[in-house]
Structure 1
Amino acid sequence: MPATSTRRTLSRQWELLKLLPNRAPGITASEILARLEDSGHSTSKRTVERDLIELSQIFPLQCNDKGTPYGWYWTPGQSSELPGITLGEALTLSLVEDSIRPLIPGFMLKSLEPRFNQARNKLQALSDESASARWVDKVASVQPTLSVMPPEINQEHLETVQMALLDDRQISSRYYSAHKNLTHELTLNPLGLVQRGQVTYLVGSAEPFDDVRLFVLHRFEYAKLLESPAKKPAGFSLQQYIESGAMQFGIPRQIQLHAWVSDSLARLLHETPLSADMTLTHQEDGASLTATVNDTWELKWWILSHAGSIQVHEPIELRRELRARMTSGLSLHETD
């Protein structure tokens, strides 16, 4: 039997074994066939039935033949835990590997490394005969921002922060503030880790203050785990903190944006509105835009990126700030 056929058969049979329940009435060959096909294994019901009969001679499998259709299951009391991963699990691990690495404690990540390697090896081995195994080469996630190189995070600092979060303990640190060009000695109360694009942030507070702030992980010059317990604000929830808009740097206030937009930008906004209450009133030379939005730097970047296609009318403070930025930018490009 060719090597590719052998790999295909072994992978299908291994996935079949992992589909079987631990008790009667079991699962039918037709149900197994449907699940195998969902996992990317193209086969037939007759092949599944033959696999079940062959595997029952090696593994403690039973068939519930009291009525049709027959159901297959693991013999009660026998271990049904199998090493290895399914094709779907291999795809998932391969797709999420890079994005979850900064968010998983180092000792847990080490235990996952064999699974990551196993996922890559399985996809590579099955790529010639399984279209599903090639799916990882046909999808990608691209950030809707300027592509920049990810910052380098000190692994020891990352592990210290992760352990502090696990044990709810404080951190003694030396932190560089890029905007102020200053280094601060801080005792931090870690509350969470958040991955935003290429950058990982520590959410926490700095003694003796209670307000929750963001600390860029790659800017830590020193980090030591303390024995003292971390202080957590009453009722704090990382998910609620993110939903509040804090990852846009500062708790944003909502504003009513009134602006003129060009026809081309109006067409884009029809597809991807700025807010649930956004309205576009078409005019002869474009459209009038009204939307409730958060007053954030991302909003200002978005407006500046569409310079020439949008004119802000209100709020007047936002209009003045944008005009000042564009005037400053123009002054830098006035001379050749």
Structure 2
Amino acid sequence: MPFATTRATLSRQWALLRQLPSRSPGVTSAELVWRLRDVGFSVSKRTVERDLNELSLIFPLERNDKSIPFGWHWSATAVGELRGNFDLQGYLRNGALQPVQGEGMELQAWVTDGLARQLREAPLTADMQLTALEQGHRMRAMVSDGWPLRWWLLSQGNGLVVEQPQALREEIGRTLSSAAAQYQD
């Protein structure tokens, strides 16, 4: 997937997350289509529904199934700073992916040359290492395990392949397979 397409998708999904209310009954997919149009994204209701289903795998979102049409909202346990004006780069640089003393995990991944250039400019962690391979680079870093890590990994699309830990590799693979299956119609 080209970088520009990935960037447009991420921008749209981020705008979608900003439109979600903090409690039930939530907002419908149809209403979200109009809200996204108001901020410059012209998308179908089906695209919004797919985005919400994908984002709910990563973020603490809930769907109110008590009435039709369904309403989407942030879970009661959601981190408050995710809503509203949120600076993703600042959030990541201020420790979202930094190791927790004694509780970090070693992440090993293959990354494209382009992503390696970006990571040299803005490393994930202070201990991150990049090793050039015949094609791409191997990245190693001690990171905190959690949804911010998964969100970042998934946002890299085909520019990154988790190699270790194996459980994380399998989880990311299942998530991406599930998301790709939704586009097979």
Within 5 Å, which residues of 2 pair with 1:1-336? Answer: 146-148=14-16, 149-150=18-19, 179=62, 195-198=80-83, 253-335=103-185
Supply the AA of the counterpart residue of 1:259. A
Higher relative contact order (CA 8 A, sep 6+): 2
CA distance in 1, matches of 2:151, 2:82: 16
Supply the AA of the counterpart residue of 2:184. E
Q: Could you list the per-position Cα deviations for residues 288-325 of structure 1 after superposition, in whole angstroms to 9, with x for gaps in the alignment?
A: 10000111112111111112111111000000001111
Supply the AA of the counterpart residue of 1:146. W
CA distance in 2, matches of 1:319, 1:298: 15
Percent sequence identity over matched residues? 32
CA distance in 2, matches of 1:262, 1:280: 11
Supply the AA of the counterpart residue of 2:159. S
CA deviation after TM superposition for structure 1 residue 199, in Å: 5.1
1:259 match: secondary structure: strand
- What root-mean-square deviation, in Å, do the aligned CA atoms of Structure 1 and Structure 2 show? 3.4
CA distance in 1, matches of 2:127, 2:106: 10
Aligned to 2:45: none
Which segments of structure 1 move beyond 3 Å, counting only runs of 4 or more?
148-154, 177-183
Gaps (5+ residues) in structure 2? 1-10, 24-59, 67-78, 86-93, 97-102
Contact 1:151 1:199 in 2 (8 A): no
2:15 match: secondary structure: coil
CA deviation after TM superposition for structure 1 residue 267, in Å: 0.2
Supply the AA of the counterpart residue of 1:261. V
> Which structure is larger by alpha-carbon Rg, 1 or 2?
1
- Write 1 or 2 for the structure with the bigger share of strand: 1
CA distance in 2, matches of 1:316, 1:178: 26
- Write 1 or 2 for the structure with the bigger share of helix: 2
Supply the AA of the counterpart residue of 2:183. H
Supply the AA of the counterpart residue of 2:15. S
CA distance in 1, matches of 2:180, 2:22: 36
CA distance in 2, matches of 1:181, 1:312: 33
1:301 match: secondary structure: helix
Gaps (5+ residues) in structure 1? 1-142, 155-176, 184-193, 201-242, 246-252
Number of matched pairs? 111
Q: 1:266 to 1:244 in 2, by over 3 A?
A: closer
CA deviation after TM superposition for structure 1 residue 197, in Å: 3.8
